[in-house]
Amino acid sequence: MIKQATVHEINELLDSGGECQVIDVREFSEFNSERIADAQLMPLSNFEKHADEIDHSKPVYLMCRSGNRATQAAEKLAAKGFTDIHVVKGGMTAWAGADLPIVKGESKVWSLERQVRFAAGLFVLTGVVLGFAVSPYLFLLSGFVGAGLIFAAVTDTCGMAMVLARMPWNQKPAEKGVVEGQVCSK
């Protein structure tokens, strides 16, 4: 069964040394820019590969930017037989809004949502400019992006975000010394 947890509940649990696993399912660039100190990175884009690393015997708290990706990860864990799963309501947005402690990283990469907004806007603008300058058929590019945004809203999935998440600037560098979170098991 998937439960909801507030940012204050998980912060109290972490402060008191409670037994838990905080899993952040955002992409590396998002995690590297800001995160909860005790969170372990496990991006939703390759969550299936690493889900078996999560301890079945401890409660799992899933975190993302707003709660949508955490809910998707929770459903995947439930399908694998996990029973003590919690989605942190509001994710990092709620955590930051509550002025709870955040580890700031060095990443200068935009959040995935911001990258999607930029790319969608760029495609729409390009379609309009090319539609006027080259051929009216190129207005279809803007229509295609608009249809994709509607589909993303209705299904709560975003194909453009999935593609952008795999771009090199959103991946963890292959070099040593990259800071990663840890599983909280105090």
User: pTM higher than 0.85 for the full model?
Assistant: no
Give the type of residue at 145: V
Using CA atoms, how far apart are residues 144 and 177, in angstroms rounded to an integer? 42
Exactly one of 20, 64, 158, 184 is catalytic; name it: 64
Using CA atoms, how far apart are residues 67 and 40, in angstroms rounded to an integer? 16
Per-residue pLDDT reduced to its tens digit, 111-130: 788 889 999 999 999 999 99
pLDDT at 113: 82
Low pLDDT (below 70) residues in the chain: 107, 174-186
Using CA atoms, how far apart are residues 165 and 28, in angstroms rounded to an integer? 9
64 is a catalytic site residue: yes
